[in-house]
Chains A and B, each alone.
Chain A
Amino acid sequence: MNDSLEAKLERFLLARLPGARGVKMISLERSTEGFSQETFSFVVEIDEKGGAASRRAFVAKRAPVAGLLEPYDLEPEFRVLKALSDDPLPSPPTPWFEPDPAVLERPFYVMERLPGEVPIPAAKPDGSGPLDPATRAALTPQVVAALARLHAIDWRARGLTFLGAPRKGNDAALRELARWQARIEATRLPVPAVMQETLGWLRRHAPATDETTLVHGDFRLGNWLLEETPGGVRLSGVLDWEMVHLGDPLEDVAWCTSLLWRAGSPLASGLVPPSEFHALYAKASGRTVDPERLRFYELLSLVKMSAIMLTGIRAFRDGRTPDLRMAIFDHQLPFLMAGLAVLRGWLPAPAE
């Protein structure tokens, strides 16, 4: 039996595609963009029982041996994606999850590949942001509408209570803080003083929220699939649901507008100034973007990213991954500490 990745995926699909007599891999490529789960993009030709043949494109996400969000459990995000497959929110239809490591060495799920490309969240060589003005103008309302739609989803009706709803009050904030602090502690790496001070501030200022929504957890430039159409750019997909949970919707707003995703510009996720994004979201969602809650989640965003990077550094240090991309986080972490110093007021803020 052919044990190549191609052959394994062919067998997997053949067993699941109704009416398929044969499945042949046409192309398979591992994506370089994602730093966490392994992402394979592939096209297959399907021989159907009636004699017809068709081509379909899929994406498989597989748990890595070691990575930034370990330990990995792909099932919650799969269940969310499957539950949202018929929602107007542009997320990839995701029909299959395979927990058995015998199939592809580690658990994975397969989703349909949506049209479009993912712009890298970094400045262009000339120093300009990743999106041109026309793209920004066309994309901003779609992104804001998608985020508002995400937060309007009736997660109870969609069967997503398994994600675990926080209690009323400041439980959502404290729970997220505890989640990321626990990850930092699990790395057993020294915590920089500025982060220790920030963690203390966050514990004392965890804000209460009166509503619980689905929170994507990684909604930002770099996880948006953009399709060029004759009518202009279209947000064709919201990707990377690894950190999905139930919580405060402003967590997503703060993450999306964080210093982390300015892409060499003063613009939130390369789109519009953060304050403008907040105002647009408030209008689209009907929510008040409370500055105190936002401040908490802005700081938590940097703590969260630090926790992710520290996890990668620890995996590299332990020799559990040879992936040098984990090692370069050692050179990224100081920028996050500078960001914390800015947000805590120890350093002057860059002009918006």
Chain B
Amino acid sequence: MLIPPEQLIDGCVRTLLETVLPGIESRFARGQLYAVADVLRNLRDRLEEKNASLELEAQSLNDSLGRAASALRATGHTAAYDVGLRIDKSLAAAPTAPLSARLGALRTVMASALEALDGLSEDVTKGAKAALGGHFAAQAVREVMILKPSLLSEISKG
């Protein structure tokens, strides 16, 4: 998530009170809306992103980067071998806890690895890319699976 949950809730409350409320005439419905705002305001400081999904991402990053490093070392290509070694070293240096620090470090290793692979020819990086692709696929599926069906069309229709 790129927007912190607290900020999302603040945005919901603001929209309810400033945009929705003026359009509601029923006193009972207005009261219910205030109640929703009250619930949301009190919920905002009790929320945090679930750890389980972050742990899965960290594990997936670590595994795929490890496999990519092995693939690069196995190519026999000097520059690719060096990139593989650098990935291994970065993985070993990543903190094991707290989770947020570990995840941040692993994401940085991934970004650096991709940048390094960009400088190598595609035939040399094929195996490493396949390993990283496993992470891309798994992460994409994990993130989509937790999403609820989109209300985008209703939002557009108004």
A interface vs B, CB < 8 Å?
32-33, 35, 120-123, 189-194, 196-197, 200, 203-204, 310, 313, 316-317, 322, 324-325, 327-328, 330-335, 337-338, 340-341, 344-347
For residue B157, give the distance in angstroms from its CB to the closest CB of chain A: 6
Interchain CB contact under 8 A, A346 and B2: no
Chain A residue nearest in CB terms to B104:
A190
A328 and B152 within 8 A (CB): yes
Say which one of B78-86, B94-102, B139-147 lies at the interface with A.
B139-147
Which residues of chain A have C-beta atoms less than 8 A from B11's C-beta? 316, 322, 324, 327
Kindly list chain B residues whose C-beta atoms are within 8 Å of the C-beta of A310.
2
In whole angstroms, how far apart are the Cα atoms of A338 and B143 in the complex?
Answer: 9
- Assess the B2–A324 pair: CB atoms within 8 A: no
At the interface with chain A, which of B29-37, B38-46, B126-134? B126-134
User: B115-158, CB under 8 A of A: which get 1 and which 0?
Assistant: 10110001000000100111111011101100110101101111
Contact B137 A317 (CB under 8 A): no
Nearest opposing residue in chain B for A263, CB measure: B153
Specify which chain A residues have a CB less than 8 angstroms from the CB of B132 in the assembled complex.
193, 197
B89 part of interface (Cβ distance < 8 Å): no
How far is B149's CA from A332's CA once the two chains are assembled, in angstroms? 10
> Which residue of A32, A316, A341 is within 8 Å of B140 (Cβ)?
A341
Partner of B158, one of A32, A121, A123, A345: A32
* Whole-angstrom distance between the Cβ of B122 and the nearest chain A Cβ: 8
Chain B interface, number of residues (Cβ within 8 angstroms): 40
21 CB contacts below 8 A, A to B, read A33-B156, A190-B107, A193-B107, A193-B111, A194-B140, A196-B111, A197-B114, A197-B129, A203-B118, A317-B2, A317-B7, A327-B3, A331-B148, A332-B152, A335-B147, A337-B139, A338-B143, A340-B140, A341-B137, A344-B133, A347-B141
Cα–Cα distance between A199 and B56 once the two chains are bound (Å): 25
Instruction: Return chain A residues, CB-CB under 8 Å to B137.
Output: 341, 346-347
Kindly state whether residue B93 has any CB partner on chain A within 8 Å: no
A121 to B137, CA, bound (A): 26
Contact assessment for B156 and A189 in the assembled complex, using a CB-CB cutoff below 8 Å = no
Task: For B153, list chain A residues within 8 Å (CB).
Answer: 120-123
A326 to B21, CA, bound (A): 20
B25: chain A residues at CB < 8 Å are none
* B1, B2, B136, B150: the one within 8 Å of A193 (CB): B136
B54, CB-defined interface residue at 8 Å: no
Given that A317-B3, A322-B11 are known contacts, is A334 also in contact with B152, CB under 8 Å in the complex?
A: no
**Residue of A at shortest CB range from B122?**
A204
Q: A237 → chain B, closest Cβ, in Å?
A: 18
Q: Which residue of B114, B144, B156 is within 8 Å of A32 (Cβ)?
A: B156
- The answer to whether B144 and A344 have CB atoms under 8 Å apart is no
Query: Cβ of B152 and Cβ of A122 under 8 Å apart?
Result: yes
Q: How far is the CA of A120 from the CA of B134 in the complex (A)?
A: 35
Contact A327 B8 (CB under 8 A): yes
Chain A residue numbers with a CB within 8 Å of B135 are: 193
B147 CB contacts on chain A under 8 angstroms: 331, 334-335
Q: Which residues of B contact A196 (CB under 8 A)?
A: 111, 114-115
Residue pair A337, B140 in contact (C-beta under 8 Å): yes
> Which of A194, A322, A328 contacts B136, CB < 8 Å?
A194
* Distance (whole angstroms) from the CB of A283 to the closest CB of chain B: 32
Q: Please give the distance in Å from A261's CB to the nearest CB on chain B.
A: 12
**B139 lies within 8 A of A194 (CB):** yes
Question: What per-residue 1/0 map shows which CB atoms of B1-23 lie under 8 Å from chain A?
Answer: 11100011001101100110000
Q: Return chain B residues, CB-CB under 8 Å to A120.
A: 153, 156-157
Q: A193-B110, A197-B136, A316-B7 are in contact. List 10 more A-B contacts (CB 8 A).
A: A32-B158, A193-B132, A193-B139, A200-B114, A200-B118, A332-B152, A338-B143, A341-B137, A346-B133, A347-B140
Please tell me if the beta carbons of A193 and B114 are within 8 angstroms of each other in the complex.
yes
Contacts of B118 in A (CB 8 A): 200, 203-204
A121 to B141, CA, bound (A): 24
Knowing A196-B114, A197-B136, A200-B114, say if A324 contacts B3 (CB, 8 Å). Answer: no
A341–B2 touching, CB < 8 Å: no
Docked CA distance A334–B141 (Å): 9
A203 contacts across to B, CB distance below 8 A: 118
Contacts of A327 in B (CB 8 A): 3, 8, 11
Residues of chain A within 8 A of B14, CB atoms compared:
322
Contact (Cβ within 8 A) A325 B155: yes
